[in-house]
Amino acid sequence: MKASLDQLLFRLIELQQKPAPFTPGEVLFWDDPHISAQMLEVHLNPEIDAASRRPEVIELSVKWLIETLGLKTGDTVLDLGCGPGLYASRLARAGLQITGVDYSRRSIDYAVQYANENSLSTIYRYENYLELQDENQYDAALLIYGDFCPLNPKQRSTLLRNVHRALKPEGKFVLDVSTRECRRKHGLKKNWHVLNSGFWKPVPHLLLEEGFDYPEQSIWLDQFVTIEADGKISVYRNWFQDYTPETITDELVQNGFAIDGLWGDLTGGPYTSKSEWIGLVTHKNKTG
């Protein structure tokens, strides 16, 4: 969108108002050529917990998942939102048959190249997991690092239905979701920056960051507005649905999953009222 100065000011005033929950911003921004390159760089940076957790935490999670799920050589695992294959490659090295699905072509290309260079037989697919059609194929499915939380209620129901169909009878589904403690730690954004280039744009632009809280619904929004030199406005929105043990349990049970265990993370740490994350191991309920 290109705008005159008057239009720009009115649009910025409008963007300062709370949008309705899960109002979308730019569509498929994670597959934008520039943004996807920035995202991949963040995934692979071992010093930060942004797109992915740090390597040492991933190592602990993979070990814990194999032990807790009782996975053995040859078992089939579906890694949803696999990114560049940080979990998938480690699971493949443990002798598991991994299928990774992600909607970032750049991440999938990296994962495929890494698998080829390291003689890993992992299968990677560039695909929207909301359109997953696999049926009765996997011993376990993973959705790691809060990928469930940005989805709106309809999307979450669709995803759970897809995972349920993809799993073998009694197949395991593992995920982690954020709590309000996680959001309180990071706080509401409210900053502006003038940049030559940045995460969102490779050209000079003004970046406006603002956060919105919906405490009654445990929803949080990080909104990023970019304004380029020609007046083009882009709006990027990261929504988060936060959970308590009760609310995530109810949602999973309603969609055909039985809860096997609940932790404070996916390394086996205990859940407390101060936990920023809830890690869950569930299984496909025959009656779901």
Claim to verify: residue 152 and residue 276 sit in the same structural domain:
yes
**φ and ψ at 281, to 5 degrees?**
-115, 125
Residue 234 lies in a domain: yes
**5 SS3 class:** helix
User: Are 10 and 94 in the same domain?
Assistant: no
* 36 inside domain: no
User: Is residue 85 domain-shared with residue 155, that is, in the same domain?
Assistant: yes
Q: β-strands 97-102, 76-80: how paired?
A: parallel
Q: Are residues 64 and 76 in the same domain?
A: yes
Residues 92, 18 share a domain: no
37 in any annotated domain = no
pLDDT of amino acid 184: 85
pLDDT in tens, the chain (288 residues): 555 788 888 888 999 999 999 999 998 898 899 999 999 999 999 988 877 899 999 999 999 999 999 999 999 999 999 999 999 999 999 999 999 999 999 999 999 999 999 999 999 999 999 999 999 999 999 999 999 999 999 999 999 999 999 999 999 999 999 999 998 888 888 999 999 999 999 999 999 999 999 999 999 999 999 999 999 999 999 999 999 999 999 999 999 999 999 999 999 999 999 999 999 999 999 755
Residues 144 and 172 in one domain: yes
Q: What is the pLDDT of residue 5?
A: 80
| Backbone φ/ψ region at 28: left (φ over 0), alpha (ψ -120 to 50), beta | left
Are both 77 and 162 inside the same structural domain?
yes
Residue 195 and residue 170 share a domain: no
- Are 59 and 143 in the same domain? yes
The answer to whether position 277 is within a domain reads yes
Q: How many helices (H) and strands (E) does the chain have?
A: 8, 11
147 and 278 inside one domain: yes
Domain that holds residue 188: 5-31+182-241
Show Cβ contacts of residue 189 under 8 Å, excluding neighbours closer than 6 positions.
209, 210, 211, 222, 223
**206: Cα separation from own chain's centroid:** 26
Which CATH number covers residue 49? 3.40.50.150
| Within a domain: 166 | yes
Is the CB of residue 226 less than 8 Å from the CB of residue 209? no
Using CA atoms, how far apart are residues 101 and 156, in angstroms rounded to an integer? 16
* Number of domains present in the structure of the chain: 2
